[in-house]
Amino acid sequence: MVKAANPGGTTPGRRRPDRRILVVGGGYVGMYTALRLQRMLKAELGRGEVEILVVTRDPYMTYQPFLPEAAAGNISPRHVVVPLRRELHRCALLIGEATAIDHAKRTATVNTLATEEEGAGPKEIAYDELVLAPGSISRTLPIPGLADHGIGFKAVEEAIGLRNHVIEQMDIASSTRDPAIRDAALTFVFVGGGFAGVEALGELEDMARYAARYYHNIKPADLKWILVEATDRILPEVGEQMGKYAVRELRARNVDVRLETRLESCEDRVAVLSDGSRFPTRTVVWTAGVKPAPLLTATDLPLNGRGRLRCTARLTVEGVEHAWSAGDAAAVPDITADEPGTECAPNAQHALRQTKVLAENIAASLSGRPLREYSHKYAGSVASLGLHKGVAHVYGRKLKGYPAWLMHRMYHLNRMPTFNRKARVLAEWTLAGLFKREIVSLGSLEHPRAEFELAAGGRRTSQGPDGPTGSGDSEDGRGSPKDRPKDGP
Ligand SMILES: Cc1cc2nc3c(=O)[nH]c(=O)nc-3n(C[C@H](O)[C@H](O)[C@H](O)COP(=O)(O)OP(=O)(O)OC[C@H]3O[C@@H](n4cnc5c(N)ncnc54)[C@H](O)[C@@H]3O)c2cc1C
């Protein structure tokens, strides 16, 4: 299908190529598919016959499995993201949000920062092939107080915000004489016992326990960490036996692991659990699963009961032509499963492998070659439970403790995209082995104008993970800790 020159094109005056491949989403699937396609279609790209246009919200891909280490300060936040402009140098990149897709007309509606400033309304972008890879978002429930106080853990900004928040809570606890404020500040509730929740809790608990040695009035035993999981096990990805080991390991570190328990409310900064317990807290981290990106409901493409795009094992969208998908957004049949109708789980292991087949199939379809099916038997998983602690169940082999942690690091270092990022992460780990851990909170990075606003006679504003707290308001409602005199130990 060949369209007129540059209809709804992204570059004024530039001729619209014969075929535009539109990739929506610059995460695992988006970045790797575009990366592979730019290699496979090098000649066509060079001749201007094909264009790969990547539309994504951020100019970087986030390597999510490293977010817990970024939150713990083991890896600098910049090194868990990959700059798309540098890696996708043969693709066109448009930073913006796709808000709708009309596949019948082969157009995507996209909002960019410029469209907002111009006030001209969203862009209509025409395409010939669509790769829809917007991933997933946190799956929340209508729990009272959750939308106001919950903290997610899917983006690098959230990981850094959470690290700053935990250290700030320790600063608040250290500087108050009010036992209720101190207790709430030192109570950290994590909801969801999957990868994200367990690893984030494991790394942050480790970091906070280490940081406590630099507070004259906080002992590690004063910190209360609670993991709330609705089912009877955690880390289902590593199997039952290793999941039980992870529970024992966390409990041995004084983490209060509550299985078959749900968060019922977190209104008024009190986490109320289904077993009747109540925990005053300023920290409720919500990692209880994911659901497909909302964009999918604004398309004319078929969705399954869980809202994922119905796909074939060839990674085409079922029943339509020229539409492809993979990763968290796509319900791809797992053809290795014994039970028919099983879908590939939403994880990086599938996402990454699917991109290889996806890119090859797109290239094959452009040159009229047959498509192949995606097939991968789940290999098991590795998870970190903090520095030097881990659990793994890979290809039938079970590991725990230090060997599992080492395997976790090696596996993810190997999977981390680009040599540049691998080298930087390795250098950071090496340096961290030689020096003490970083325990500084740079919460002020989240409101960088505060200092100048004060100097210019304005009112200082503060915005932590709980959203804007207004001028000088702190989370205990008694003024920002930086603005008010410390209560003293
Ligand atoms: C903390 C954490 C730890 C994890 N650890 C592991 C692990 O150890 N092993 C494992 O296998 N998996 C792990 N996962 C899961 C894994 O990261 C995901 O399965 C994988 O990222 C899915 O890839 P994706 O491309 O489908 O989505 P993503 O990587 O999330 O990419 C989606 C992209 O689309 C963009 N986007 C969304 N909507 C729009 C829109 N409307 N317009 C434009 N752009 C849009 C997003 O900004 C994002 O860049 C972890 C996830 C988290 C959160």
Ligand 1 in contact with 293 (CB < 6 A)? yes
- Closest residue by Cα to atom 31, ligand 1, is 27
H helix count then E strand count, the chain: 14, 26
Q: How far is the CA of 64 from the centre of ligand 1 (A)?
A: 7
Report the C-alpha gap between 458 and 471 in whole angstroms: 10
pLDDT for 411 = 92
Task: Check residue 451 and give its pLDDT.
Answer: 77
The yes or no reply on domain 146-288+381-420 and CATH 3.30.1330.10 is no
Please answer whether residues 52 and 94 qualify as being in contact, where contact means their C-beta atoms are separated by less than 8 angstroms. no
Residue 153: CB within 6 Å of ligand 1?
A: yes
Q: Does residue 321 surpass a pLDDT of 50? A: yes
Q: What is the mean pLDDT of residues 454-470?
A: 56
Matching residue, tokens 């009272």: 144
Q: Find, among 254, 234, 30, the residue nearest to 132 by Cα.
A: 30
Average pLDDT over residues 74-97: 94
Closest approach atom of ligand 1 to CA 381: 9
Q: Identify the residue whose C-alpha is closest to ligand 1 atom 4.
A: 65
CB 217 within 8 Å of CB 252? no
Residue closest via CA to ligand 1's atom 53 equals: 154
User: Distance from the CA of 329 to the center of ligand 1, in angstroms?
Assistant: 9
The pLDDT value recorded for residue 438 is 77
Q: Identify the helix (H) or strand (E) that includes residue 108.
A: strand 107-112
CA 260/CA 124 separation, integer angstroms: 48
Return the domain boundaries, the chain: 19-138+291-366, 146-288+381-420
Q: Is it the case that residue 328 has pLDDT exceeding 70?
A: yes
Site of tokens 């790797």: 32
Q: Residue 239 region, left (φ>0) first, then alpha (ψ -120 to 50), else beta?
A: left
Higher per-residue pLDDT: 148 or 487: 148
The residue count of the chain comes to: 489
Residue 123 and residue 241: Cα distance in Å, rounded? 52
For residue 348, the CA-to-ligand 1 centroid distance in Å is 8
Of 412 and 489, which is predicted with more confidence? 412
Helices (H), 253-380: 348-366
Instruction: Output the CA torsion sign for 335, 341, 344, 345.
Output: negative
Whether 283 has a pLDDT exceeding 50, the answer reads yes
Candidates 53, 52, 70, 60; CA nearest to 28 is: 60
Residues contacting 127, CB < 8 A, separation 6+: 20, 21, 22, 53, 106, 107, 108
pLDDT average, residue stretch 436-447? 72
Mutate to test the pocket of ligand 1, among 23, 56, 291, 311 (most ligand atoms within 8 A of CB): 56
In the chain, % of residues over pLDDT 90: 74
Report the nearest-CA residue for atom 17 of ligand 1.
64
- Of residues 281 and 396, the one with the higher pLDDT is 281
Greater pLDDT, 144 or 446: 144
pLDDT of residue 4: 35
Least confident of 100-104, 243-247, 461-465: 461-465
When comparing pLDDT for 464 and 252, which is higher?
252
Residue 35 CB–ligand 1 contact under 6 Å: no
Contacts 24+ apart (CB under 8 A), 179-186: 180/280, 181/476, 183/224, 183/280, 184/269, 184/280, 184/281, 184/282, 185/282, 185/476, 186/218, 186/222, 186/223, 186/224
pLDDT 10s digits, 20-73: 999 999 999 999 999 999 999 999 999 999 999 999 999 999 999 999 999 998
At residue 480, the pLDDT reads: 41
How far away, in angstroms, is 370 Cα from ligand 1 center?
A: 29
Find residue 392's DSSP bridge partners. Answer: 382, 399
Burial 364-386 (b: 16+ CB within 10 A, else e): bbbeeeebeebebeeebbbbbbb
Bridge partner list, 20: 51
Higher pLDDT, 475 or 395: 395
* Residues 225, 205 contacting (CB under 8 angstroms): yes
User: Ligand 1 pocket check: which of 93, 101, 151, 195 to mutate, most ligand atoms within 8 Å of Cβ?
Assistant: 195
Name the CATH superfamily for 19-138+291-366: FAD/NAD(P)-binding domain (3.50.50.60)
With pLDDT > 70 as the criterion, what percentage of the chain qualifies?
Answer: 89
Within 10 A of 283 (CB to CB), how many other CB atoms are there? 28
pLDDT tens per residue across span 156-214: 999 999 999 999 999 999 999 999 999 999 999 999 999 899 999 999 999 999 999 99
The neighbour count for residue 121, using CB atoms within 10 Å, is 10
Q: Are strands 50-56 and 19-24 parallel, antiparallel or unpaired?
A: parallel
Average pLDDT for 105-128: 91
Q: What pLDDT is stored for residue 16 in this prediction?
A: 66
User: What's the Cα-to-Cα distance from 413 to each of 196, 406, 420, 455, rounded to whole Å?
Assistant: 18, 10, 11, 44
Same CATH fold assignment for domains 19-138+291-366 and 146-288+381-420 = yes
Q: Name the residue of 328, 358, 384, 413 to mutate for ligand 1: max ligand atoms within 8 A of Cβ.
A: 328
Atom of ligand 1 nearest to the CA of 58: 47
pLDDT at 306 over 90: yes
Nearest CA to ligand 1 atom 27: 135
Measured in Å, residue 84 CA sits from the centre of ligand 1 at: 15
CA 26 / ligand 1 centre spacing (Å): 9
CA 327 to ligand 1 center in whole angstroms: 8
